[in-house]
Structure 1
Amino acid sequence: MEPILEVKNLTRNFGGLAAVSNVSMQIMPGELIGLIGPNGAGKTTLFNLLTGVYEPSEGLIEMQVDGKPKQIGGMKPYKITNLGVARTFQNIRLFKSMTVLENVEVAMQRNIQYGTMSAILRLPKFYSEERWIKEKAIEYLKDVGLYQKRNELATNLPYGEQRRLEIARALAIQPKILYLDEPAAGMNPQETADLTKLIHEIREKYHLTIILIEHDMSLVMNICERIYVLDYGKMIANGNPEEIKNNEFVIKAYLGEEI
């Protein structure tokens, strides 16, 4: 089996600072991967490189597309999205003046096939596709437990439910790879437990490859099959949770201990 994502010697410089330096990763289809590291380690910068927000200074990012590796480093974010990549953000980015349902529906607009005239004249194709969009959006909201709140404004949702809505909107893109940037941030223990269950469920249902940044180590250790560790922009370790928990370089990075 070929990797769905391969990162080779990836570097991103900001002036004289290397926020990400010579990072390599290999992600197989269907894996649930953790990306951890102290604050300022370069985790979100790496996500931004993988999703096209930043262009690499050096290195390659290859994604498996139609059975062949495709270089996506430096591509526009919307083009990477069209290949089957979705993400959530560290700081929630919802359309807060829109309803919960509308937030999910708007993510599906890239899939519409009807043209401008069909929309203006309200031809059958327009109605059939709009009906399909609504039905699918409702399915995603049911997946994340927000169906009952579909007509509420997004801004009125509690914090944990806004996080879930972001995940539903990301699912609406119909991704192959889903990046979750600190999905449990600000959640209480029960919400975190529910999120852990949700991540497992959506991975199985939609056959997703999931890569998540998270500071909640209990979540990471319980849910991730493999973990990559960044420190000062460099990859210092990767392995299964048990290997990472006992890695002396990881212990030093988090605790500042001499080894």
Structure 2
Amino acid sequence: MEPILQIKNLTKNFGGLCAVSNVSMQINQGELIGLIGPNGAGKTTLFNLLTGVYEPSSGLIEFNEDGKKIQLGGLKPYKITAYGIARTFQNIRLFKTMTVLENVKVAMHKNIRYGTLAAILRLPSYYSEEKWVEEKACELLKEVGLYGKRNEQATNLPYGEQRRLEIARALAIQPKILFLDEPAAGMNPQETAELTNLIYRIRDKYNLTIILIEHDMSLVMKICERIYVLDYGKLIANGNPEEIRNNEFVIKAYLGEEI
């Protein structure tokens, strides 16, 4: 089976700084992949390349859509999103003055089929589509445990719940690939355990391929089937959790010394 995402010799330079250097990865449909490395290793830069925030200096990003290979490098974020690639951010980016429900609904615009005229004239197609959007958004909020707070402003949610709202909003675009950038950051052990269960559940329910950046190694080792490790922008290791746990180059990168 062809991988759903193939990254070949991907490089990103910022002036004289090489933030991502010659990185190659192969992601298969339905996998739960971890991307780890010390601070400044280039993890978020790699996510930004894969989601169109940055344009690669060189290399290929190839998305397999039902057998059709699409080159994502250089595309705008909204075009990449339209192919079914969603993400959350290291720093939470919610519409804080909008309600929890509105934050999810606003992400569903690409699935709306009625036109401007139907909206202005309030034609039946407008009402039927809006009803579907409302029902789908409520379903996703139930999935992440926030339905009871759907009418609260997003800014009033505790930090861990804001993280879950970001996941619900990402799911609203009906993604095939979901990038999670430090989803457990700032969470207590109970919230992290709930997040673990949520990631498993949405992966299976929505047939997702999930790639996550995370510094909580217990979470990464528990849920990820394969792990890629970056250090100073270079890929230094990849393998299953046991292989990564015992890899001397990974230990050196984290501890800063030989073993």
Whether the TM-score (by the shorter chain) exceeds 0.5 is: yes
Paired residue for 2:225? 225
Give the residue type in structure 2 aligned to 1:178. Answer: L
How many residues are treated as equivalent by the alignment?
259
Whole-angstrom distance in 2 between the partners of 1:28 and 1:237: 18
Paired residue for 1:115? 115
Question: Shift in Å at residue 110 of structure 1?
Answer: 1.4
Whole-angstrom distance in 2 between the partners of 1:243 and 1:66: 32
Whole-angstrom distance in 1 between the partners of 2:110 and 2:155: 24
SS of 1:40 mapped into structure 2: coil
SS of 2:70 mapped into structure 1: strand
Give the residue type in structure 1 aligned to 2:148. Answer: Q
Whole-angstrom distance in 2 between the partners of 1:20 and 1:157: 35
Paired residue for 2:209? 209
Question: Shift in Å at residue 68 of structure 1?
Answer: 1.7
Match status 1:13 vs 2:13: yes
Spell out structure 1 runs of 4+ moving beyond 2 A. none
Paired residue for 1:250? 250
CA offset digits 1:122-166 (Å, max 9, x no partner): 100000000000000000000000000000000000000000000
Paired residue for 1:84? 84
Q: What does 1:181-220 correspond to in 2, within 5 Å?
A: 181-220=181-220
Q: What does 1:1-259 correspond to in 2, within 5 Å?
A: 1-259=1-259
Give the residue type in structure 2 aligned to 1:174. Answer: Q
Whole-angstrom distance in 2 between the partners of 1:74 and 1:14: 16
CA offset digits 1:20-74 (Å, max 9, x no partner): 0000000000000000000000000000000000000010000002312111111
CA offset digits 1:68-116 (Å, max 9, x no partner): 2111111010000000000000000000000000000000011111111
CA offset digits 1:153-191 (Å, max 9, x no partner): 000000000000000000001000000000000000000
Whole-angstrom distance in 2 between the partners of 1:135 and 1:99: 15
SS of 1:127 mapped into structure 2: helix
TM-score by length of 2: 0.99
Give the residue type in structure 1 aligned to 2:131. Answer: R
- Uncovered stretches (5+) of structure 1, i.e. residues with no partner: none
Whole-angstrom distance in 2 between the partners of 1:6 and 1:20: 16
Whole-angstrom distance in 2 between the partners of 1:216 and 1:76: 31
Q: Aligned-residue CA RMSD in angstroms?
A: 0.5
SS of 2:25 mapped into structure 1: strand
- Uncovered stretches (5+) of structure 2, i.e. residues with no partner: none
SS of 2:8 mapped into structure 1: strand
Whole-angstrom distance in 1 between the partners of 2:66 and 2:222: 32
Give the residue type in structure 1 aligned to 2:182. Answer: E
Identity across the alignment (%): 83
Whole-angstrom distance in 2 between the partners of 1:258 and 1:162: 40
Question: Shift in Å at residue 228 of structure 1?
Answer: 0.1
Whole-angstrom distance in 1 between the partners of 2:108 and 2:115: 15
